[in-house]
Amino acid sequence: MIMTKGKVRFVRLRAEDLELVRQWRNSPRISQYMEYQEYITPEMQQEWFKSVHNKNNLYLIIEHDHQKIGLINAKNINWDDHSLEGGIFFWEEEVYNTPLPALVSLMFSELVVRAIRLKIYAHIMRTNDRAIRYNLQLGFELCPGQEDIENQLYLLTPENYLVRSAKLRKAFYILIDKSPYVLQMEKEDYVTGIGQMIDQRIDPSIPTEIRETDSGKEYYFDFS
């Protein structure tokens, strides 16, 4: 699976990128904000990949201007309950001084929340002020009873997203180029089953165009 808009591209996690992700995930700068903070070995990373490369999990490498800068995910997707748990981290630290984190989160939310109509749960450490700010702008709300929890649970619903992120989305579409979103389904997506699930869940009235390809489908969106 590949999703592209302008210079930003999401590519579904592949075996050749596991070591890159593992090295950065073990970095103290990143692991301090994760619930699991133990050292991850190459063998553990391989076993983890086998357990998540399926229709209920979607891990995507974030690329900007042909440079791999982070990872975003939709894990534990419950297709019946229309929900998932989201997460994101960037290993290129200078990214945090740019609009990119907010733009990447918006790109992901436009597809997952707006087009597929899934609600997102996100665990965020109380100390991660930067992530909390980003998520509140998108429309996330702290779940009841989470005020004193160290790893707090937030929820983003399609309704809250459309209302509360309106100003942010308006600024987003002014800032970036006018190229369409393109979601490209690959053969591997249908082998693992997530391709079929997304094909079934995307409202056909939302894409501006749907093309049949040798590998599956291409969806074109204009969310502006």
**pLDDT above 90 for 203:** no
Residue 202's contacts (CB-CB under 8 Å, 6 or more residues apart) are 115, 116, 219
2-221: CATH homologous superfamily?
A: Gcn5-related N-acetyltransferase (GNAT) (3.40.630.30)
Asked if 2 contacts 219 with a C-beta cutoff of 8 angstroms, the reply is: no
Domain boundaries, the chain: 2-221
**pLDDT tens digits along 70-84:** 999 999 999 999 999
Residue 1's contacts (CB-CB under 8 Å, 6 or more residues apart) are 10, 11, 12, 58, 60, 183, 184, 185, 186, 189, 194, 195
Single-letter code of the amino acid located at 85: E
* Residues belonging to the chain: 224
Return the percentage of the chain with pLDDT > 90, whole number: 72
pLDDT band of 191, cuts 50, 70, 90:
very high
Q: How far apart are CA 50 and CA 66, in angstroms?
A: 27
